[in-house]
Amino acid sequence: MSERASDDAAIRIEGARKVYRSLLGRQKEAVKDVSITVKRGTIHGLLGPNGAGKTTTLKMLLGLVRPTAGRFEILGDDAGSPEARRRIGFLPEQPYFPVHLTALQAMRFYGALAGVPEERLDSQAAELLERVGLADAVRAELSRFSRGMLQRLGIAQALLGSPEVVILDEPASGLDPVGQRDVRNLMLELRAAGTTVLLSSHQLSEVEAVCDRVTILHRGAVAAEDHIDRLLDVEGKTAVRARGIERLPEAVAAVADDVAFSGSVWAFSVPDGAVRTVVDAIDDAGGVVLAVQPKRESLEDYFARLLARAGEEVA
């Protein structure tokens, strides 16, 4: 399948640019030049430090901020068109709800806006609230919701009407570890059902765990874009873990990099060509090889390196 076939793309952003102007006439170029294509049925991550332009890019795509320049398409339609809007679900960075409503009332309200037929409002609202772990809070007033509960409600709201494209601005924000895992699983379920997900995130582990592709934004421009595996694969290196040895045999120490020892397990990386020698040497020394796998850089390290290269520290 060609990546250029237009029906292959769920989201297409081309040459997005945004200059904010204050009342005093000051200008801020929040987004300089961003192009992103998200294939149907994939999960795409948008990463970048605070102020990189993630939220502004998503808001332009949703028509919530007027772009200075750029083309924005959802499922082949102009992103601002009613056709496109009906097919999108959105979790804003700071979801706002009328606090005097109960969770169910809020879901009914947003469900009606999303075009869910009246007779299906209650069942869909209840089902989604259960899916985000709010089954016990259906009739609770939102003024009593914790930060994480409101975030869960925001995610449930984004899924009303079973949108084909779901855009989530920092879905893990404010969630406890179980909540974060739930959201990861939810995104994987959405993808399995053919839904396209575009999310922004600071949770690098979340992005690593679910995203097919990642775009890294830095100062309003795309700093990198790739399959997560390709972004992180350290070419020519293999990661090895072993235990049962007090020190690394000489043949291993001579070629090993990034050596770490914790508890009883050694972890290090070696050139691909040395794997056989290394495994034999550990074996001869009476040790046990626990794992041999392609070396991957953590997204954290990658990110730090990228920003350092740009002469910038991670905030």
Q: Is 201 in the site for Mg ion (CB under 5 A)?
A: no
DSSP secondary structure code for residue 142 in this structure: G
Check binding of 30 to ligand ATP (CB under 6 A): yes
Element (H, E) at 266: strand 265-271
Question: Which residue has 């421009």 as its token pair?
Answer: 221
- C-beta of residue 224 within 8 angstroms of C-beta of residue 216: yes
Which is nearest to 63 in space by CA: 90, 36, 42, 40?
90
- Which of 56, 201, 203, 215 forms a contact with ligand ATP (CB under 6 A)? 56
Instruction: Between 111 and 174, name the residue whose CB sits nearer to ligand ATP.
Output: 174
How far are the Cα atoms of 40, 217, 275, 298, 301 from residue 305, in angstroms, in the given order?
Answer: 30, 14, 27, 11, 6
Query: Residue-wise over 251-268: b if at least 16 C-beta within 10 A, else e?
Result: bbeebbeeeeeeeeebbb
**x/- map, 132-161, Mg ion, by CB under 5 A:** ------------------------------
HSE-up of 213 (CA within 13 Å, CB side)?
A: 15
- Options 8, 41, 51, 294; binder of ligand ATP; rule CB under 6 A: 51
Binding mask 87-126 for ligand ATP (x = CB under 6 A): ------x---------------------------------
CB of 57 or CB of 269, closer to ligand ATP: 57
The CA-to-CA distance between both ends of the chain, in Å, stands at 40
If one asks whether residue 50 binds ligand ATP (CB under 6 A), the answer comes out as yes
User: Does 28 participate in binding ligand ATP (rule CB under 6 A)?
Assistant: yes
Query: Rg of the Cα trace of the chain?
Result: 23
The stretch near Mg ion (CB under 5 A) out of 85-93, 152-160, 229-237, 256-264 is 85-93
Judged by CB under 5 A, the residue of 17, 30, 53, 55 near Mg ion is 55
Q: Which CB, 121 or 167, lies closer to Mg ion?
A: 167
Shortest separation between residue 302's beta carbon and ligand ATP, angstroms: 17
Is 48 a binding residue for ligand ATP by CB under 6 A? The answer is yes
Residue 108 touches which member of ligand ATP, Mg ion, none, C-beta under 5-8 Å by kind: none
* Contact positions with Mg ion (CB under 5 A) in 90-109: 93
Asked if 284 and 277 touch (Cβ cutoff 8 Å), the reply is no
Looking at residue 141, the DSSP 8-state letter turns out to be: B
Binding footprint of ligand ATP on the chain (CB under 6 A): 20, 28, 30, 48, 50-56, 93
